[in-house]
Amino acid sequence: MNQLEKAQAEYENFTEKFESVIISTVNEQGIPNASYTPFVTDDAKNIYIYVSGLAAHTQNIHINPHVCVLFIEDESQTTQIFARRRLSFDCAATLIERESETWNQIVEQFQQRFGEIIEVLRGLADFRIFRLTPTAGRFVIGFGAAYHISGDRLDQLAQITGEKAR
Average pLDDT rounded to a whole number, residues 43-65: 96
Number of domains in the chain: 1
79 vs 37 pLDDT, higher one? 37
Average pLDDT rounded to a whole number, residues 142-163: 88
Residue 65 scores a pLDDT above 70: yes
CB-based contact 21:47 (threshold 8 Å): yes
CB-based contact 47:110 (threshold 8 Å): no
Average pLDDT rounded to a whole number, residues 131-140: 96
Nearest to 89 by CA among 138, 49, 25: 138
Domain range spanning residue 24? 3-165
Residues 6+ apart with CB under 8 A from 1: 9
CB-based contact 52:117 (threshold 8 Å): no
Residue 165 scores a pLDDT above 80: no
Q: Is 20 exposed, middle or buried (0-12, 13-18, 19+ CB in 10 A)?
A: exposed
Average pLDDT rounded to a whole number, residues 24-48: 96
CATH code for the domain of 74: 2.30.110.10
